[in-house]
Amino acid sequence: MSLNQKTATSPAPAEHKSQFSTILPLFLVLRLTILFLFTPQGLLNVYTDFTHYFRTAQLSEQGFFPFLNMWYEYPPLSAYLVQLTYSIASGFFPLGEVNSLGYQIWARMFGVILLVFDTGVLILTYEITRKIRGVEKADWIGWVYALLSVPVFFSNASHNVIMVFFSLLAIERYLSNHKSQSAVALGLGIAAKLTPLFLLAPVAKFLWDEGLKGVKQFLAYGVIAMATAFAFYLPFLALGGGPWVAASFTALGKVGSWSTVWSLLDGNWGPGDYGHLTNRLELIQAGISRANPPLIPEVFRTGAFAILFGWLFLKPLKNLLPEKFVWFATMTCMLFHIWSKGWSPQWATLIIPFLLLSFPDQRGLRAVLWLTGFTFLEWPVSSAFDNRFLYFVSILGRTTVLCLAALWAARNLWGKPDSQLEPVVSSPNN
């Protein structure tokens, strides 16, 4: 008799009672305390992305708006949540400059919006884990995420959590067999930041084995996702902002490598450089690269990763269970960021949920803590001390974590999984 079978006389195991009602209020109290009682600048670096967002919104007072008469590196959903908060705040009191009380109030107003998304990340991470691995593991992940420092830190520095929320919502809806809702969520994530495009790959993989039916489902999924994202650009195109929308994508392509192993090879030691904010008011500036050219041509780098991922994509999977969808999504996420020519420290807020969802054990926690250390070593520590050695170590360390996570996920997909899981929900293809 196997260990998974129950005898007639065996007492039924006591049902594990969820601790989420304890996790959630503690999570919120911690973040609200930091949001309202601490300054967002921190101890080592007075600059955060909030400063950039605020100064971009200030241009509206001169009549300049992203995608309408200026190009911008962030997609419309993120850009205009900032603009909306700025417009509301400026309607009640003068905002002034970044060292003013008005800025501090605006930053906290925007922080409250981001807290809503961050709370959603906690809920979705918990819910996905509960569906796949049960309440006990979900509680463990809930406690871990609630107490991690990276999400708290960057919730007061960057709007990356918007994209993270919609990425996880797309996964949760897909695992719940609501593909259309998942596609809309993915489109919203792309409208906040282009990164979630990588989630099209696991969806395609898990519909691949259904033959023509699966192909049709994936095409419908892709059309819904891209139409949702495109809808955010449509008003600007209708108002004559087409050249500025095009310039925004041109700028993303022209920006040099930054904060990756590729940037080290290229000799680019700084962050992604789009130039001064006012450059965004000139179309010609979007096509100017401000970094060293790539040592390895992008076509070769991209071609090598395409071959690797194509091989993994075509490699057959047995038993398309929900946890395998999460592992494949995690592997894809890691490979996407290893391939990417750029990296920003706040992107760790996307990596962390994937690490916890795929490896809800001490190994996953250690990976998250190592990533935390390398993230803060890169920024603000190496930046504050202008130390290239620390910067170099942080990039190599973080890349190692991503590589290991990709290998672990691949081993679970095609080798012997780390643990034999009994999924609570059915395959997403059912």
Q: Confidence band (pLDDT; 50, 70, 90) for 40?
A: low
Residue 393 lies in a domain: yes
Residue 10 lies in a domain: no
Residue 420, pLDDT above cutoff 80 = no
Question: What is the rounded CA–CA span in Å between residue 202 and residue 327?
Answer: 9
Report the share of the chain in percent with pLDDT over 70.
Answer: 91
Q: Confidence band (pLDDT; 50, 70, 90) for 425?
A: very low
Helix axes of 76-90 and 179-192: crossing angle, nearest 10 degrees? 70
Residue 403 lies in a domain: yes
What is the value of pTM for the model shown? 0.90
Q: At 236, phi and psi to the nearest 5? A: -70, -35
What pLDDT, on the 0 to 100 scale, is given for residue 418?
A: 61
Contacts of 210 (CB under 8 A, 6+ apart): 217, 429
Question: What is the rounded CA–CA span in Å between residue 348 and residue 350?
Answer: 5
Question: What is the rounded CA–CA span in Å between residue 154 and residue 182?
Answer: 26
Residue 145 lies in a domain: yes
The range of the structural domain enclosing residue 31 comes to 20-269+288-414
Q: Confidence band (pLDDT; 50, 70, 90) for 15?
A: low
Torsion angle defined by CA atoms of residues 105, 106, 107 and 110, in that order, rounded to the nearest 10 degrees = 130
Residue 354 lies in a domain: yes
Residue 185 lies in a domain: yes
Q: What is the rounded average pLDDT for all residues in the chain? A: 90
What pLDDT, on the 0 to 100 scale, is given for residue 210?
A: 76
Domains contained in the chain, number:
1
CB of 23 within 8 A of CB of 142?
Answer: yes
Residue 428 lies in a domain: no
Residue 258 lies in a domain: yes
Residue range 107-160, pLDDT digits in tens:
999 999 999 999 999 999 999 999 999 999 999 999 999 999 899 989 888 999
